[in-house]
Structure 1
Amino acid sequence: MDYSAVFAILVPIAVIQTVGWATPGPNHLTVITASVTAGRAAGLRAAMGIAAGALTWSMIAVSGIAVIFELFPPLYLALRVIGGGYLIYLGINAFRAARRGGVFKLSPDMASPATTAPFRTAYLVMMTNPKAALFFGSILTAFIPPDGAVWLMVVIAFQIGLLAAILNSIAALFFSTGSVMRAFENASYAVSIVFGVLFCGLGALVLWDIAQEFL
């Protein structure tokens, strides 16, 4: 396979991934939460958690394991239920923070998992994100040549992980700047409520979508 053919495969994947990243969702919200409530280091750890999740999903996709979701729909259903439930859990934590004055007013042991364990939380959000499962399980696989060499699969997976790290780090760096953090801190209570509504809303949408399939 020549370089032009490899380029023709990698560029569309990068474009689609970037467009997907630009669409607001659980991944963004997790990085923002960590960044504005615990600072740049926490935001970057969350970004790396998302990147690690993207790398894991891409390895699943290029290895062909994603076909399992098509052969065994209950697995995909379980993933979506867990993802929706976990988002609601994060939302409830945000509401609890609001009752105590807001996310900036909490002691470390009372803060949200998105703040106290940003990498782990972001990784779990990414791995249980139905949008990620859709992207890596169907959209991405459409661009992967079925007879591609092992080295090409490795390059695709590495590119996805690297691009996820870069894009989410940009978000973390922006939302952890002093002016942005001060703005969020001045509206700590409102920010907690908004984060709670967004997390719970996203989780509820996932569960509602599942429920619609059985109605």
Structure 2
Amino acid sequence: MNELTLLLTLATIHTIGLISPGPDFALVVQNVARYGRATGVYIACGLALGIGLHTIFSLTGVSFVIQQHETLFMLVQLAGGSYLLYLGLSALRSTYLSWHQPAAAPTQASTEQITSPHMALVKGLVTNLLNPKALVFFVSLVSTLVPASVSWWFKGTAALMLFALSLAWFSLLACWLSSSSMQQRLQRASRYIDAVCGTVFSVLGGSIVLSRVLG
């Protein structure tokens, strides 16, 4: 398989992975519902940066070394699982306040708001970068498809390509969700979105932490 064909194969598999619902998808939906298009796009930039870094780490062997080092990989899993669990519990707490303490909800929410583009970008970056399942996905993808003999041109192009695809997908998702008709629906359903996203993050993060503690 030549390098051009290999790039197309990587792009196809990565695109399928992107459009499959997961923590990154949930993060965009949740934050567009809360804060609108601009925040969603900055979240998308952060997610794309995280994916670009995962690609670079996998192609250069860094992620493989982390995965093979049991203690280091356990720490990465615990950190990532704990962060996802934190996101989930925060969303569930917000849902609880909106249902049971409507008068106190705005005050509480103000302490958790994304107040700048920088905060949104960092939240997207950290969420993707600390997701242990993303690390395993990229290590598996690279080890299965990419031979060790590929050129540095290929590695750089692959990283830029997967970054660009991720940025395009999540930005388009944020823009679509923030259209006037969709935004009204999302705002009406915001507490339900928080509940669903909070459950997804909590179950995923909790299962990762629990598996490491019990394992």
TM-score category (smaller protein) = 0.7 to 0.9
Look up the SS of the partner of 1:163 in the other structure.
helix
5+ residue gaps in structure 2? none
Q: 1:44 aligns with which of 36, 41, 45?
A: 41
Question: What's 2:71 paired with?
Answer: 74
Q: Distance between the aligned counterparts of 2:112 and 2:134, measured in 1?
A: 26
Corresponding residue for residue 204 of structure 1 = 206
Task: Map 1:87-102 to 2 at 5 A.
Answer: 87-101=84-98
For 2:193, give the aligned amino acid: V
User: Does structure 2 retain, via aligned residues, the 8 Å contact 1:54–1:164?
Assistant: yes
2:85 corresponds to 1:56: no
Report the AA paired with residue 106 of structure 2.
Answer: L
Q: Matched residues, percent identical?
A: 24
User: In the aligned structure 1, how far is the partner of 2:16 from the partner of 2:74?
Assistant: 25
1:190 aligned partner, one-letter code? Y
Q: TM-score, normalised by structure 2?
A: 0.86
Deviation at 1:200, TM superposition (A): 1.0
Partner of 1:106: 106
Q: Which moved more, 1:48-57 or 1:137-146?
A: 137-146
Q: Over aligned residues, Cα RMSD in angstroms?
A: 2.4
Aligned counterpart for 1:143 among listed residues 130, 142, 145 = 145
Q: Secondary structure at the match of 2:62?
A: coil
| Contact 2:27/2:197 (8 A) holds in 1 | no
Count the aligned residue pairs: 209
Kept after mapping to 1: 8 A contact 2:78/2:208: yes
CA drift at 1:112? 4.7
- Please give the alpha-carbon distance, in whole angstroms, between the structure 2 residues aligned to 1:106 and 1:112: 10
Counterpart code for 2:51:
A
1:15 pairs, out of 12, 23, 28, with 12
Q: Judge conservation of contact 2:30–2:194 (CA < 8 Å) in 1.
A: no
